[in-house]
Structure 1
């Protein structure tokens, strides 16, 4: 029920689901599980305690589940999981977890990791995340569902990127990005929110107006941040998107501060705010 090329090396113990295709030069380790219809196109390495969900496609020279780049790691049986339908393009790397995190690196369902993107140990990516070419995620990074990280961007260890956030290409992210936030630059600064992404996922015009007001109050108006956050909760807390933002900001497990606000001149992206998918 599976198609395995004669030049592929599939170790005894690996579980290969129905309809899988393991192409020329691929290497599959003994603790790997490939669910149904997974395709390893050619010269792919999947190792460690790794599970690829149904319909995952992996392009040449990608590696999944290799040991973390962590000097403390002593070959403990940590894990790596990739959700159904995710696309992993050429040269991308996803490392299994270290013992200093939750024990598992997770890439959600329906994600796309473009060429040479890197997902370090203990990262957790929600469903539908897109990492453009050459994105680098440090260890223990959390990326919310539907977030987009532009080409060449670097995200520091332990940073949280909120759901439906948008990171511009070549950004250097060292602090947490709230849900729906749009950041730009090196170091990255919060310059707006992901209006287009929200519209595509069913947000109403009223919700967008509310988020604009919340963004202005929290990140543009003068005053103590804690007081402004309390005002946001009083005035707009009934909106589920605003409540999601408040919960993110108040998360007691956070290890970094919020990204600082900033400004971006339109010529930097070569288009208007509407064309660039953000609203300040």
Structure 2
């Protein structure tokens, strides 16, 4: 520890834990022996950091968060696995992140600048990108892959092994059991694709031309009546120079463990959002 680091007398920091400069640890926190806490991390009271867990610089962790707990998996046999959290994340009350499993990748990875609201959960072996927001009570099952700038509404739940493309929006109370395309917006129990995350696209600085092209590509893929396998090369031919559309097509060309989330029959026109 450095002189700049503060540990409340009522906190427990086990021998072997590594604390960076300017760390602030509040009362009744428990920091495990294999934990590495980056510079300027601030913890309120009753925070638990356990397992082989790395906390990036500048994170703020609130009461009763438990980071690095054992995976909730019957296949895990107790081997050493890890959790890595990027810089400048805000981790609110009661959030839980688990380490990976020794039967899979062995690692759970969370990017930088995330905002994880109260009682949200990231399960074992997930890979979560940068600038992800999970609202209160949102949960990820094991082995999920989440791209950058994804937003999860409150009490949404994602099935294990699901992929969520970057800039997607998951509506509150949604149950997501299939992969979600980049820029997609899904809602509902057994979520359906409702169009594009237009607000998120605009906030990320995409041009109006980009948005119009994405909307056109979306309609060609999901509202033309063609099978996806037939529509993908047509979209690629029409938009050969669009990086955004290339991302969407690349996602669709990867065969994951889940099928793709598709529109409900009444929403095949791409939703009500306007460019």
**TM-score range, shorter-chain basis?**
over 0.9
**How much has 1:222 moved relative to structure 2?**
0.8
* RMSD of aligned alpha carbons: 1.3
Question: What's the counterpart of residue 263 of structure 2?
Answer: 261
Which residues of 2 match residues 218-233 of structure 1 at below 5 A?
A: 218-233=221-236
The correspondence for 2:40, drawn from 32, 37, 43, is 37
Q: Does the CA-based 8 Å contact 2:115-2:131 persist in structure 1?
A: yes
Aligned: 1:171 with 2:174: yes
Tell me the distance in 2 between the aligned counterparts of 1:194 and 1:221.
20
Tell me the distance in 2 between the aligned counterparts of 1:219 and 1:100.
37
Greater shift after overlay, 169-178 or 216-225?
A: 216-225
Question: What's the counterpart of residue 194 of structure 1?
Answer: 197
Question: What's the counterpart of residue 160 of structure 2?
Answer: 157
Residues 199-223 of structure 1 show CA distances to partners (whole Å, capped at 9, x for unaligned) of 1111110111111111111111112
**How much has 1:34 moved relative to structure 2?**
0.3
Greater shift after overlay, 55-64 or 99-108?
A: 99-108
Aligned: 1:123 with 2:139: no
Residues 57-106 of structure 1 show CA distances to partners (whole Å, capped at 9, x for unaligned) of 11000100010001121221100011000010000100000023321101
Which residues of 2 match residues 105-120 of structure 1 at below 5 A?
A: 105-120=108-123
Greater shift after overlay, 63-72 or 95-104?
A: 95-104
Tell me the distance in 2 between the aligned counterparts of 1:100 and 1:73.
6
Tell me the distance in 2 between the aligned counterparts of 1:237 and 1:114.
39
Runs of 4+ in structure 1 deviating by more than 4 angstroms, as ranges, are: none
Question: What's the counterpart of residue 139 of structure 2?
Answer: 136
Q: TM-score with structure 2 length normalisation? A: 0.95
Aligned residue pair count: 268
Q: Matched residue of 2:235: which SS?
A: helix
**How much has 1:130 moved relative to structure 2?**
0.2
**How much has 1:279 moved relative to structure 2?**
4.8
Q: Does the CA-based 8 Å contact 1:193-1:279 persist in structure 2?
A: no
**How much has 1:40 moved relative to structure 2?**
1.2
Q: TM-score with structure 1 length normalisation? A: 0.93
Structure 2 residues without counterparts, runs of 5 or longer: none
Tell me the distance in 2 between the aligned counterparts of 1:240 and 1:101.
32
Structure 1 residues without counterparts, runs of 5 or longer: 265-271
**How much has 1:237 moved relative to structure 2?**
3.0
